[in-house]
Chain A
Amino acid sequence: MRKLALAALLLFMPAAVLAEEAKDMAKNPVIEKRMIALTSKLRCLVCQNESLAASQAGLAKDLREEVREQMIAGKTDKQITDYLVARYGDFVLYDPPVRSYTLFLWGGPFLFMLGGAGILAYQLRKRRKAVRAPELDAEAQRRAAALLEGKEK
Chain B
Amino acid sequence: MMRYIVPLVVFLALVGLLYTQMESGIDTHLVPSPFIGKPAPAFALPQLLEPSKKFTPADMKGKVWLFNLWASWCESCRDEYPLLLDIAQNQHVTIVGLDYKDKAADAKAWLAQAGDPYALNVTDVEGRIAIDYGITGVPETFVIDKHGVIRYKEVGVLTPDNLKNKILPLVAKLEQET
Contacts and interface: CB of A to CB of B under 8 A. Distances in A.
Interface of A: 45-46, 48, 58-59, 62-63, 66, 85-89, 91
Contacts of A86: 34
Given A59-B136, A62-B126, A45 B31 contact: yes
Interface in B1-59: 29, 31-35
Contacts of A87: 34-35, 131-134
Contacts of A88: 31, 34, 134, 136
A interface secondary structure, majority: helix
A89 B32 contact: yes
A46 B29 CA distance: 9
Given A59-B135, A85-B34, A87-B34, 11 more contacts: A46-B136, A48-B29, A59-B137, A66-B128, A66-B131, A86-B34, A87-B131, A88-B34, A89-B32, A89-B34, A91-B32
Contacts of A59: 127, 131, 135-137
A62 B128 contact: yes
Given A45-B136, A46-B136, A46-B137, A62 B32 contact: no
Interface in B120-177: 126-128, 131-137
Interface of B: 29, 31-35, 101, 126-128, 131-137
Nearest to A88: B134
B interface secondary structure, majority: loop
A40 B134 CA distance: 19
A62 B127 contact: yes
A62 B131 contact: yes
Given A85-B34, A91-B31, A91-B32, A63 B131 contact: yes
20 contacts: A45-B136, A46-B136, A46-B137, A58-B101, A58-B127, A59-B127, A59-B131, A59-B135, A59-B137, A62-B128, A62-B131, A85-B34, A86-B34, A87-B34, A87-B35, A87-B132, A87-B134, A89-B31, A89-B33, A89-B134
B96 to A, nearest CB: 20
